[in-house]
Structure 1
Amino acid sequence: MVSYVIRRTLIMVPTLIFISMLVFAIIELPPGDYFESYVQELRVLGESADLQEIEELKARYGFDNPLPIRYLHWAWGLLQGDFGYSFDYRMPVNDVVGDRLYLTIIVSFFTIIFTWIVAFPIGLYSATHQYSWGDYGLTFLGLLGIAIPQFMLAIIMMYFANIWFGTSIGSLMDAEFVGEPMSWPKFWSVVEHMWIPVVIIGTGGTAAMIRRLRANLLDELRKQYVVTARAKGLSPRRVVWKYPLRMALNFFIADIGSLLPAIISGAEITAIVLSLETTGPMLIRALQAQDMYLAGSFLMFLAFLTVIGVLISDIALGILDPRIRLDGGSRK
């Protein structure tokens, strides 16, 4: 196990280097840069740009240098914790992200907890009561959750909240806390508003996870060792909890690799519909505006979380399931 972790950690270094090159190339691939897009946007609006300021920014951040030099400058800044300067927001990337990163982590964390709490008992019941009325009803609800897009569910909830209760469910906090530093009153305001986006974002993931847990558990319950356990007279509860459920949970652990980056990226379209102060809409805006330092920092952070998440899930799977061996080779 120790040698496996060391080997995987060493492999992470060239992997992240290659991803950083790919991210930088993708951001630089569209013609022009942020400054050209900015000047064109001002011309469309009938305004004039401060060309001297633009030239100073280009010289300061090396936009006149060749691409390899610019990549090395950007990568070295990432290693030092300097994520660069956001030209769109006119401030350092660290200041732009601000509370949005913490709010995104809070919302996504509780969304994951909500998904697991709802999906786990429903999937277990549906698998152990196959073809019952409860199974059919829960399956129908699961299919609805998969079929309805999250942004459409957000619009529906916004409409009925306004019609029935005369209230708006947009934003993550009361208006007086927007733009203010984090404090206990602001935190509790976020908690009060958070349950709506958590339910909306978690609905799709809950429905999909119910179906996966049901399918995996049904597959395990049909295997020979379960039939043998039942023939020996073990109670139905012990037959399910002893090994089949444990083996069926593998995909929960395997999902860690995708859950960690999802904590930061969040549900972008749903966040835009609900006017959530999360990082998803900011990432979309950065990509549209070719704000390379802001977009590149987001993408690299997502890549880092993906690599870490896959490592954690592989180690956890090796501990949970004895059939999975991390050392490779054949076993006699």
Structure 2
Amino acid sequence: MSINEIAKHLNVSKSTVSLVINGKAEQGRISQALAERILTYVQEIGYKPNVFAKSLATGRSHTIGLIVENISDSFYGPIALHIEKYLRKIGYHVFYSSTLGSIELGNTIVETMLDKKVEGLIVCPTNQMETSLEAIQKQQIPLVIFDRKAGDMATNYVGTDNYGGSLLAVDHLLENGFQQIGLVTNDSTQSQMIDRLNAYTDKLSQEGFHATILRLDFQADALEKAEQIKVFLRENPQLDALYFTTNYLCIAGLKAIQALNREGSYAIISFDDHELFELLQPAISCVEQPVAQIAQEAINLLFKQKKSPDLPLQQVIIPSKLIKRKSTC
């Protein structure tokens, strides 16, 4: 039942019902007897306010939009959970959505979030998503980008030190005597992937070693990736170590190595941990991204901008952590 229907049933004005429901009876000079009659009826019928309509009237929805590439991913899922926990503590809710790397889907999601009157957005952008992000900024809605940059856009940003983390991985392999290090990455032009690639090529060039790189189609499925990695390994028998720039590429690589019966033939390290890596034999070394800290910093930046819209934009770069396991030792 709507406020309008309640007002008709009680033979009072819609504004009177609204004032009472929102705890403003005294402010509206409504008698205690009338206020009690309205509240009693509202309780009897189990009335629940339309949150969306209320947000239109007050400009407050107490919701934050979170847009990621894939909510089921072992990186984005935990970040989303941490964001939800932090926001719940301060009385906010989260609208989640996944772009699946699609520009069109990403733009549609932003439009939907804005229609829902979210009070801020935390976004892991797709390529060429700048137009939608600029629309958020034009509406003066707080915006924080995380994980990868949105082209050359000036935004609040939170992310891992991808270049530094990648150097940790390559340095670790070199320090353990591995010199023929193959890199398995994807053909993405996203900033975080470029940084991981550049750290690898820069370090090997500096040390006088040859870079051997496999760039996989970002859109290829896991089976296709594993098949291409098998070909890469057959064509490069000199390799003694493999560095995978994401955990899902590492998993595809492990399947390829198993299919070739080459378990134990390579030192293996991944950028990004995965719950499986510690359980495998040998356990897989990795560069770990601090997901809880990324989530907290994103929320901090968002609410700073919400409180003080004229504050200068900030970029928070968080160091990664090298986790040494038996696959590289």
Q: Tell me if both proteins adopt one fold, taking TM over 0.5 as the criterion.
A: no
Bigger RCO of structures 1 and 2 (CA < 8 A, at least 6 apart): 1
TM-score normalised to structure 1 length: 0.24
Q: Which protein has the bigger strand share? A: 2
Higher Cα radius of gyration:
2
